[in-house]
């Protein structure tokens, strides 16, 4: 598998020279400064690519191979009047990337919010810090801070009771921090920063859009962009919903096997693929993650090899686990990917780029300013663990 590393550009605390040392060869990045709906130009892509790939002869070269992500404007997700111009802009960005020989595009179709967590530095028993989705805290925000109409229907009575007690014990500073964690925009998110007022307004635009209609809008989008991807030799890799369930009354439509079965059956081109994110898929106990890796093997154009741990039976609470200690069988997932790579090697197809994801903040990264989930040492540990699995399985395969 092709080891890659997510980099957030020149202002990322983890520098390109750091990435050379961790064992990755490829860079996953985007033009994060360009707002959703604005087309990327070939010149801007070329400039960023040159920054990554221009390397002194004494250093290991890096290559930009995967884009994460070209943001899909919310008007496209709602099929709002005039949204076609944003699809045109997305296609222009696709063309700019292909002109620079960058041909794997990760994207998502989550409305209003991208990936969402309540805690950005939850302390583990080891002393390291992790990202966490505390369902009670999310419910407290939804019910008592956001005060969303209809929120009480979306949370069961026991969660509402715990959320009320949690909210009552929160200081004003804690309430403000929870709000910021949820709506201020996280690193790598493809949505903008919100205030409570703009967040309520954005939610209101989705009042008439359910899961079925959101999926129809996704299909409409893909029917426009996939033929262009086919012509350019570009692979599109949709990221599963994170978390993989409806949130704040917003529908999500890329969470379970039935969602992806329908997506690939409706738009059958092999350019229409998946970013196989173990952590996102593994949040749901009804997702057989290794089974999904086998089922969609030829559609996996990119992989996020991280894991999550569900904390309470029947609760939606989870945290980012160590890469080999979560609720999914990471060894089985890597085995499925290596099996697919052996098939691709025979067919002459590209192998699978992967990256570690959402590493713990630990050791010398504690106390530093880092992008939540994207500190260096925790991801380096995850990358080493995945490469160890890969080496062991590859050796076992040669032994028959």
Task: Cite the active site residues.
Answer: 239, 277, 304, 357-358, 374
Burial of residue 311 (CB within 10 Å: 0-12, 13-18, 19+) is middle
CB-CB contact of 24 with 383 (8 Å): yes
Rg of the chain, C-alpha, whole Å = 20
* Region of residue 140 (left: phi > 0; alpha: psi -120 to 50; beta: else): alpha
**Maximum separation of any 2 CA atoms in the chain, in Å:** 63
- Sequence-ordered alpha helix ranges (H) in the chain: 16-22, 42-53, 74-78, 84-99, 135-140, 151-154, 157-169, 172-183, 196-204, 211-232, 257-266, 278-282, 289-295, 330-347, 376-398
- Sequence-ordered alpha helix ranges (H) in 283-368: 289-295, 330-347
**Side-chain half-sphere of 180: how many Cα atoms within 13 Å?**
8
């Amino acid at each position: 598998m092709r080891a890659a590393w997510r980099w957030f550009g020149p202002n990322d605390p983890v520098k390109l020279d750091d990435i050379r040392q961790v064992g990755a060869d490829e860079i996953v990045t985007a033009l994060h400064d360009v707002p959703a709906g604005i087309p990327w130009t070939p010149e801007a892509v070329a400039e960023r690519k040159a920054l990554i790939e221009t390397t002194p002869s004494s250093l290991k070269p890096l290559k930009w191979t995967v884009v994460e992500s070209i943001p899909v404007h919310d008007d496209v997700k709602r099929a709002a009047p005039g949204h076609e111009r944003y699809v045109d802009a997305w296609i222009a960005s696709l063309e700019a990337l292909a002109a620079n020989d960058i041909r794997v595009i990760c994207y998502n179709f989550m409305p209003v919010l991208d990936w969402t967590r309540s805690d950005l530095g939850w302390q583990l028993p080891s002393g390291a810090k992790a990202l966490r989705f505390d369902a009670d805290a999310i419910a407290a925000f939804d019910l008592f801070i956001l005060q969303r109409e209809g929120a009480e229907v979306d949370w069961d009575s026991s969660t509402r009771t715990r959320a009320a007690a949690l909210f009552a014990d929160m200081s004003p500073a804690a309430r403000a921090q929870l709000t910021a964690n949820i709506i201020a925009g996280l690193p790598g998110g493809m949505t903008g920063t919100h205030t409570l007022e703009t967040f309520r307004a954005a939610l209101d635009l989705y009042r008439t859009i359910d899961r079925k209609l959101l999926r129809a809008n996704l299909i409409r989008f893909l029917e426009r962009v996939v033929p262009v991807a086919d012509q350019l030799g570009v692979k599109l890799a949709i990221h599963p919903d994170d978390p993989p369930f409806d949130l704040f009354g917003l529908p999500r439509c890329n969470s379970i096997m039935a969602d992806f079965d329908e997506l690939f059956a409706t738009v059958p081109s092999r350019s229409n693929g998946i970013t196989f994110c173990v952590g996102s898929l593994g949040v749901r106990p009804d997702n057989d993650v290794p089974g999904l890796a086998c089922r969609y093997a030829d559609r996996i154009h990119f992989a996020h090899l991280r894991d999550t741990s569900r904390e309470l039976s029947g609760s939606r609470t989870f945290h980012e686990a160590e890469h080999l200690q979560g609720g999914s069988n990471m060894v089985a997932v890597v085995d499925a990917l290596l099996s697919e790579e052996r098939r691709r090697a025979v067919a002459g197809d590209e192998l699978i780029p992967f990256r570690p994801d959402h590493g713990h903040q630990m050791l010398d990264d504690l106390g530093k300013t880092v992008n939540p989930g994207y500190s260096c040492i925790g991801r380096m540990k995850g990358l080493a663990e995945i490469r160890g699995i890969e080496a062991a399985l590859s050796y076992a395969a040669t032994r028959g």
